[in-house]
Structure 1
Amino acid sequence: MAIRSFFSAPAFSTCIGDFIRRILVGVLIATILFAGIQLRRWIGDTTRHVRYQHDIVNGFYWGSEVLKQAHRLSPDERSANSWTGFCRGYLALYDRVKDKAYEQEYGLDYAPLRLLVMAIWAKEVRDGFPWVDKDHPKLVNPLLKINFICELVSALAIFLLVRECLRRSRPTQSSLLNRLPQQHRGWICGLAAASAAWLEPSMILDAHGWPQWDVWILPFYLFAALAALKNRWFWCGCLLAVGAMLKGQLLFVAPFFLFWSLWQKGWISALRILAGFVGTTALIVSPWLLRTPAAGIAVATVAGISSLVVLRYKLPHGAELLAGMIGCAVFVIGAFTGGSFAWLQVGFIYGTEHYPYLFISSCYNLPSLLSKVGWSLKDSFLSAHLGSLHLHITLQWTLRLLYLVALALCARGLARHLRDRDPRVLIAIAAPWLLMFALLGQMHERYLMWGAVVSAVALGVSVRLSIIHFILSAASTAMIVHVMLTDKKLEATLPTIDVLKHLRPYGSIVVLACVAIYLWETISTRIPAFRHGELRSGATPSLSLAPEPEEA
């Protein structure tokens, strides 16, 4: 009787229920993880005949160029094959490419960290398999493993982001999501969003079918957003800097965080982001900028004086401020002591000028529609004379200004949603990637993939916005498939290519409509009557999405 009463006790039943629930959740997570792994293997195997080989060849070529440069600068073979020789070749390649280029056609558009990854990959392949043909590099698996890790970390970041927002927000507008218990809603919706991101077809196709390296910057953006939510503005800037050094496209959405900090906390938070960004960037590019002993001594002097000032006056966020000042000193001293900025010209600026077209390949966006009516990227959109001043704005800059305005509106809406504890803050975090692809010129078809992945956070907001996420996912997948099939033009794929080609204008309208809905959800406010009813319908969570107190 005692044993039976023990098993029937409420406390024991609760413990058993929690234990069984955790086992089931663990089995579900393991199943989703295994399904994602198998899907990636299947995509990799079935797309071999349409794989876009150019990007693999290009990465291997520039990685091999680092090794060749190491041989040019080394006195013997042993020194050239050492890691010291490798670093020597890596640091010298940007200057060599810039000096040898004809009319600033560099060919190389890799940011420093991406070039480093490709160079390490090429070195490992050359050391282990010296007979590998440079035109058909095998052993791409190391890069695919990096893609896999970034995909997995991105899914984890989306889970944490959704859970963090919903854990501290008011009930959503979705009656379906509101049926979930408040204490479990965060992790349930977070798991759903992470699963959607993990199984995102366009990301898998981009990372394992194409393959490309676009997914590398996703974890940095997502964790930067998570850091900003927790008022870790300095670390937000650091993450953005590292991500931008892998792929410069992250710089297009980086201003969103500056606008966010300005709308929410003021200029101090914006300075903390800049301090983290400048300090981290300076640390990465300092080997190019500080090439003389005098430059190193000057930076050390500035660092010492700045440290004394920070300690003497006990400035708030002193360590962050110090990192920013030293970072600025590195750039200024590098400019005056003959430091090289070839990494900037070749790795970043060249990429913005390399494709002077409204769109690349097959894109469903506004520039694609504009090209249909005869516009081109450099066409004059606004021209006026103000006395002796001639104002000339091209379509390219018009689209950029429109994008910046939309980005500022997104940040304003996000700050308001944070104050109101509205879960639509998740939509505001996803919107910059969607706006970038929808509005800016010179977009590749792959770039909607970032928005398709991040918009998976909509599964924590409402069913309607979740459906839009899946529409964006389908559009992103269709564009990537179109380009991969067009590159090979196999007989069996010609009808599919023709269908996808004719779908482009309709796809552009659909994508623009979806992005407009996300933008509206970001900047709009709820009807006051609905908000009051919402407050009466349930208890307000003890935690708030309002800004946490600043850390000293």
Structure 2
Amino acid sequence: MVVRSLFRRLCAGQFARRIFVALLVITLLVAGIGLRQWTWQKTKHVRFQHDIVNGFYWGSETLAEGRKLSPDAPDSWFAFFRGYFALYDRVKREAYEGDYGLDYPPLRLLAMSIWARQVREQFPGVDDGHPEHVKPLLHANLVCELISAVALFFLVRLWMRRASGATGSPFLRRVPAERRALICGLTAASVAWLESSMILDAHGWPQWDAWIVPFYLLAALAASTKRWFWCGCLLAAGAMLKGQLLFVAPFFVLWPLWQKRWASALRLLVGFTTTAALLVSPWLLRTPAAWISVTIIGLVGSFIILRRRLPHAGAWIAGLTALTAFIAGALAGGSFAWLQIGFLYGSEHYPYLFISSCYNLPFLLDNLGWSLKWPMWSYEFGSRYVAITPQWTLRVLYLGTLALCARGAARHTRNRDPRGLIAIAAPWLVMFALLGQMQERYLVWGAVVSAVALGVSVRLSAIHFVISVASTAMIAHVMLIDKKLEATLRVINLLHNVRPYASGVVLVCVAVCLWDALAVRLPMFQSRRYRRLEPASLSLGATAEEV
């Protein structure tokens, strides 16, 4: 009673509340950083070294290609970028039967090349199989995790404010409505910051899956505030780090389409195309003729668009210029090796229903004897052969479910329902649950983003923690299998045996999240005030929504 009374007095004043919140945030920040350092130290003997070695190898190949092309200044930045821009073409030219080995998109290859350059400068005689000085990559992971937590805070607070603090959590209903959005945002961000599977993935494995999380969350925030052009820009930039972001990117295109806002969807595509063209222009525009054609069409298009005073003129000018860049690249000798190696190759590199240890539907299908390209039904007419395989069946099922998630986001936006947050998180969960060729780490994105459930309901919050445990277990299982230490054999055997049951649990959890993403909001959670008003904008101000 004394502690409760003291807590109430402390939170009574606005200044005291701010001090308390600031101290809480600092404590969580320091604790999260310490937990990551502890994870890195304690996983030394079970660390999955293959990804570090692979990244260092391809970064070193960039440096070697640069030295070969610029022997007069082999260690200069000019030589570095020459090697970076030439590596995709060299790998494609030297590949045997389409086996490239390299599957990095452009920005991830750039990051690994910069890291390899730094390591080579500090450790000139380092062995390719034992790279040193991994901390820069761990710091990059840390920064991305921190940005993700901040973005998730603003996303949850935004939706809760729009819903006037409506929530299905009985605990949060006891909090005054004006503070509820802040508390929900802080709770969700704190859980995401301390997410066990992300920490193990980024600082125990380590891998670079954390790099695309802030791009997705910031894209969701941009979409929620109707900044569709910037949403497309963020998705394109994130996809250049890890192509898996492209699996869920159609969700943002379908969202405004369900609202019959064709211009919004088009602006998103323009932003995506513009950013992609900007990042890959060194490969596309390799001749003066290509640059001249893009410049002329861009100037002429700018003149026409500005003269007609079209809305969002800057976006249309950028989109026209970007489209011209891709056409010029195709017609004027540009290279698309970055596309074939960085994106297409990875999608067919592992022709299996699942990889390593996955708790999902493809794992259960594999236990039934199915394979990724097994012809479930086939038909021949003349020289043509058509077959329906599990790979394409699961892809079609996933796309249909993704469209339903977008439908749910559009509906919850109209109803000012905080369960729109679940619709935003659902694509990552559905992707892992349904698609083939998934790796055990890919649930980590759903585990982090599903932390938005902390602002929606207790039931969905519990599901988030179940997903988090499942994601952590899969990552730990593969790490332990790689080393197979005697002390961990019993744990490995346990994790191996629970896979069918864990797969069922994960599928049930995903189904529940999907239902909440699609369901019509219950009247008991609707604000009487908002039933009589037109839908309002998901913005920090009081701007009305475009209908």
Please give the range of the TM-score, normalised by the shorter of the 2 chains.
over 0.9
**2:36 alignment counterpart:** 40
- Tell me the CA shift for residue 131 of structure 1: 1.6
**1:9 alignment counterpart:** none
Matched, 1:523 2:518: yes
Task: Kindly indicate whether the alpha-carbon contact (under 8 Å) linking 1:169 and 1:544 is maintained by their aligned counterparts in 2.
Answer: no
Q: Which of 509, 521, 535 is residue 527 of structure 2 equivalent to?
A: 535
- Tell me the CA shift for residue 546 of structure 1: 6.0
Q: Relative to structure 1, is the Cα distance of residues 549 and 318 closer, same or farther in structure 2, using a 3 angstrom cutoff? A: farther
**2:327 alignment counterpart:** 332
Q: Relative to structure 1, is the Cα distance of residues 470 and 249 closer, same or farther in structure 2, using a 3 angstrom cutoff? A: same
**2:199 alignment counterpart:** 204
Equivalent residue runs for 1:144-223 within 5 Å: 144-170=138-164, 171-223=166-218
One-letter amino acid of the structure 2 residue matched with residue 124 of structure 1: Q
Q: Relative to structure 1, is the Cα distance of residues 343 and 383 closer, same or farther in structure 2, using a 3 angstrom cutoff? A: same
Q: Relative to structure 1, is the Cα distance of residues 390 and 31 closer, same or farther in structure 2, using a 3 angstrom cutoff? A: same
**1:119 alignment counterpart:** 113
One-letter amino acid of the structure 2 residue matched with residue 421 of structure 1: R
Matched, 1:286 2:278: no
Deviations along 1:483-512, one digit per CA (max 9) or x if unpaired, are: 000000000000000000001001100000
Task: Kindly indicate whether the alpha-carbon contact (under 8 Å) linking 1:168 and 1:543 is maintained by their aligned counterparts in 2.
Answer: no
Q: Which of 54, 57, 67 is residue 58 of structure 1 equivalent to?
A: 54
Instruction: For 1:546 and 1:118, locate their aligned partners in 2 and report how far apart those are by CA, in whole Å.
Output: 38
Deviates more, 1:270-279 or 1:123-132: 123-132
Q: Relative to structure 1, is the Cα distance of residues 545 and 310 closer, same or farther in structure 2, using a 3 angstrom cutoff? A: closer
Task: Kindly indicate whether the alpha-carbon contact (under 8 Å) linking 1:381 and 1:398 is maintained by their aligned counterparts in 2.
Answer: no
**1:253 alignment counterpart:** 248
- Tell me the CA shift for residue 236 of structure 1: 0.1
Deviates more, 1:125-134 or 1:405-414: 125-134
**1:129 alignment counterpart:** 123
Deviations along 1:197-226, one digit per CA (max 9) or x if unpaired, are: 000000000000000000000000000000
Instruction: Say which SS state the counterpart of residue 405 (structure 1) adopts.
Output: helix
- Tell me the CA shift for residue 381 of structure 1: 2.8
Instruction: Say which SS state the counterpart of residue 376 (structure 2) adopts.
Output: strand
Matched, 1:75 2:77: no
Deviations along 1:238-261, one digit per CA (max 9) or x if unpaired, are: 000000000000000000000002
**2:136 alignment counterpart:** 142
- Tell me the CA shift for residue 357 of structure 1: 0.4
Instruction: Say which SS state the counterpart of residue 370 (structure 2) adopts.
Output: coil
Instruction: For 2:11 and 2:484, locate their aligned partners in 1 and report how far apart those are by CA, in whole Å.
Output: 60
Instruction: For 1:69 and 1:404, locate their aligned partners in 2 and report how far apart those are by CA, in whole Å.
Output: 40
One-letter amino acid of the structure 1 residue matched with residue 362 of structure 2: P
Task: Kindly indicate whether the alpha-carbon contact (under 8 Å) linking 2:225 and 2:538 is maintained by their aligned counterparts in 1.
Answer: no
Task: Kindly indicate whether the alpha-carbon contact (under 8 Å) linking 1:227 and 1:235 is maintained by their aligned counterparts in 2.
Answer: yes
Task: Kindly indicate whether the alpha-carbon contact (under 8 Å) linking 2:535 and 2:544 is maintained by their aligned counterparts in 1.
Answer: no
Deviates more, 1:202-211 or 1:14-23: 14-23
- Tell me the CA shift for residue 180 of structure 1: 1.5
Deviations along 1:18-38, one digit per CA (max 9) or x if unpaired, are: 111111111111111111111
**1:427 alignment counterpart:** 422
Q: Relative to structure 1, is the Cα distance of residues 181 and 224 closer, same or farther in structure 2, using a 3 angstrom cutoff? A: same
**2:258 alignment counterpart:** 263
Deviations along 1:304-356, one digit per CA (max 9) or x if unpaired, are: 11101111211111110111111111010010011000000111100001100
**1:7 alignment counterpart:** none
**2:387 alignment counterpart:** 392
Task: Kindly indicate whether the alpha-carbon contact (under 8 Å) linking 2:372 and 2:391 is maintained by their aligned counterparts in 1.
Answer: yes
Instruction: For 2:456 and 2:146, locate their aligned partners in 1 and report how far apart those are by CA, in whole Å.
Output: 22
Instruction: Say which SS state the counterpart of residue 81 (structure 1) adopts.
Output: coil
Deviations along 1:248-276, one digit per CA (max 9) or x if unpaired, are: 00000000000002112421111100100
Task: Kindly indicate whether the alpha-carbon contact (under 8 Å) linking 2:43 and 2:204 is maintained by their aligned counterparts in 1.
Answer: yes
One-letter amino acid of the structure 1 residue matched with residue 527 of structure 2: L
Q: Relative to structure 1, is the Cα distance of residues 315 and 132 closer, same or farther in structure 2, using a 3 angstrom cutoff? A: same
**1:310 alignment counterpart:** 305
Instruction: For 2:528 and 2:305, locate their aligned partners in 1 and report how far apart those are by CA, in whole Å.
Output: 49
Deviates more, 1:261-270 or 1:112-121: 261-270
**1:509 alignment counterpart:** 504
One-letter amino acid of the structure 1 residue matched with residue 56 of structure 2: F
**1:24 alignment counterpart:** 20
Instruction: Say which SS state the counterpart of residue 526 (structure 1) adopts.
Output: coil
Deviations along 1:110-135, one digit per CA (max 9) or x if unpaired, are: 00000000000011111122021111
Instruction: Say which SS state the counterpart of residue 383 (structure 1) adopts.
Output: strand
- Tell me the CA shift for residue 401 of structure 1: 0.6
- Tell me the CA shift for residue 74 of structure 1: 1.1
- Stretches of structure 1 that go unaligned for 5 or more consecutive residues are 1-12
Task: Kindly indicate whether the alpha-carbon contact (under 8 Å) linking 1:110 and 1:247 is maintained by their aligned counterparts in 2.
Answer: yes
Instruction: For 1:274 and 1:183, locate their aligned partners in 2 and report how far apart those are by CA, in whole Å.
Output: 37
Q: Relative to structure 1, is the Cα distance of residues 19 and 543 closer, same or farther in structure 2, using a 3 angstrom cutoff? A: farther
Task: Kindly indicate whether the alpha-carbon contact (under 8 Å) linking 2:359 and 2:506 is maintained by their aligned counterparts in 1.
Answer: yes
**2:3 alignment counterpart:** none
One-letter amino acid of the structure 1 residue matched with residue 430 of structure 2: L
Instruction: Say which SS state the counterpart of residue 71 (structure 2) adopts.
Output: coil
Instruction: For 2:533 and 2:200, locate their aligned partners in 1 and report how far apart those are by CA, in whole Å.
Output: 40
Runs of at least 4 residues off by over 6 Å:
13-16, 385-389, 537-543
Q: Which of 221, 229, 241 is residue 226 of structure 1 equivalent to?
A: 221
Instruction: For 1:81 and 1:205, locate their aligned partners in 2 and report how far apart those are by CA, in whole Å.
Output: 35
Q: How many residues align?
A: 534
Instruction: Say which SS state the counterpart of residue 332 (structure 1) adopts.
Output: helix
Instruction: For 1:54 and 1:258, locate their aligned partners in 2 and report how far apart those are by CA, in whole Å.
Output: 36
Task: State TM-score, norm by structure 2.
Answer: 0.94
One-letter amino acid of the structure 2 residue matched with residue 269 of structure 1: S
| Identity between Structure 1 and Structure 2 (%) | 64
Instruction: For 1:203 and 1:470, locate their aligned partners in 2 and report how far apart those are by CA, in whole Å.
Output: 13
Instruction: For 1:426 and 1:15, locate their aligned partners in 2 and report how far apart those are by CA, in whole Å.
Output: 29
**2:411 alignment counterpart:** 416
Instruction: For 2:260 and 2:460, locate their aligned partners in 1 and report how far apart those are by CA, in whole Å.
Output: 28
Q: Relative to structure 1, is the Cα distance of residues 540 and 21 closer, same or farther in structure 2, using a 3 angstrom cutoff? A: farther
Equivalent residue runs for 1:86-97 within 5 Å: 86-97=80-91
**1:8 alignment counterpart:** none
Instruction: For 1:96 and 1:541, locate their aligned partners in 2 and report how far apart those are by CA, in whole Å.
Output: 60
Instruction: Say which SS state the counterpart of residue 448 (structure 2) adopts.
Output: helix
Q: Which of 237, 242, 246 is residue 237 of structure 2 equivalent to?
A: 242
Task: Kindly indicate whether the alpha-carbon contact (under 8 Å) linking 1:485 and 1:497 is maintained by their aligned counterparts in 2.
Answer: yes
Task: Kindly indicate whether the alpha-carbon contact (under 8 Å) linking 2:414 and 2:535 is maintained by their aligned counterparts in 1.
Answer: no
- Tell me the CA shift for residue 539 of structure 1: 10
Q: Relative to structure 1, is the Cα distance of residues 542 and 98 closer, same or farther in structure 2, using a 3 angstrom cutoff? A: same
Instruction: For 1:150 and 1:174, locate their aligned partners in 2 and report how far apart those are by CA, in whole Å.
Output: 29
**1:4 alignment counterpart:** none
- Tell me the CA shift for residue 176 of structure 1: 2.1
- Tell me the CA shift for residue 384 of structure 1: 4.4
Q: Relative to structure 1, is the Cα distance of residues 543 and 41 closer, same or farther in structure 2, using a 3 angstrom cutoff? A: farther
Instruction: For 2:245 and 2:292, locate their aligned partners in 1 and report how far apart those are by CA, in whole Å.
Output: 33
Instruction: Say which SS state the counterpart of residue 246 (structure 1) adopts.
Output: coil
One-letter amino acid of the structure 2 residue matched with residue 166 of structure 1: M
**2:103 alignment counterpart:** 109
